[in-house]
Amino acid sequence: MATRIGLIRHGETFWNRMGRWQGHAAVPLNEEGMHQARLLADYLLPQSNQITAIYASDLKRASDTAQALADRLKKPLHHDARLREIDVGEWQGLTGDEIRAWDGERFETVQRDPFGTQRPGGESLDQVAERALAFLKEVVQQHTEGYVLVISHGGTIRTILQRLAVVGEGRIWVDNTSITLLRYLHADNRWMLDAFNVLEHLGTRRIVPGSDG
């Protein structure tokens, strides 16, 4: 018995293009992001009979991406704040260069221990992992079989993969609307990575933005 989880990063935003750290900001998808979501929905349509539910972060960029999928696939959509991106606190809306210039000492402290150190006024990756993994535990208990789509954020998806030990400890990139496939084996209480950062639906339209989130 196994549950398949499709971890999907939201579509592109203007802040992605500008390299701004989004955190919990209510940044909407841009035109390209909406197009990406529609392409993803068309790509997933042949698999709709396998998909049992769609869950999404309640932040606008993820929620709008998920709504495009739910409408096309005709599946129920559930929002869960535990799927939010890391709260970057005082750094929200800034670029990496701006943070280094304005708050370089605290930035270096976070870089040395990103999991254990809270962003100023925000969260640590340990806190993100705690809430995101609690969500996944509930989902696999509720959906003991089938395919569940989970629309979240780049940092949150990376944190999940690293905490489940299905990827290495180095930095990995998660593209907008990419699909990462996990499989939970109930009998073994074990997670497996079946595919990472799948972008077939974008074809030649792949764009690597300046920031995740």
Active site residues: 10, 85
3: nearest Cα among 148, 138, 121, 112: 148
Tokens of 59: 């932040």
Centroid of chain to Cα 181: 12
Q: Beta 2-9 vs 51-56: how paired, if at all?
A: unpaired
Is the CB of residue 150 less than 8 Å from the CB of residue 8?
Answer: yes
Tokens of 42: 């068309």
How far apart are alpha carbons 70 and 55 in whole angstroms? 10
Q: What phi and psi, each to the nearest 5 degrees, are found at residue 23?
A: 55, -125
The amino acid occupying position 85 is E
Contacts of 194 by beta carbon, 8 Å cutoff, 6+ apart:
4, 181, 182, 183
3-state secondary structure (DSSP) of residue 120: coil
Tokens of 128: 């993100």
Is the CB of residue 88 less than 8 Å from the CB of residue 23?
Answer: yes
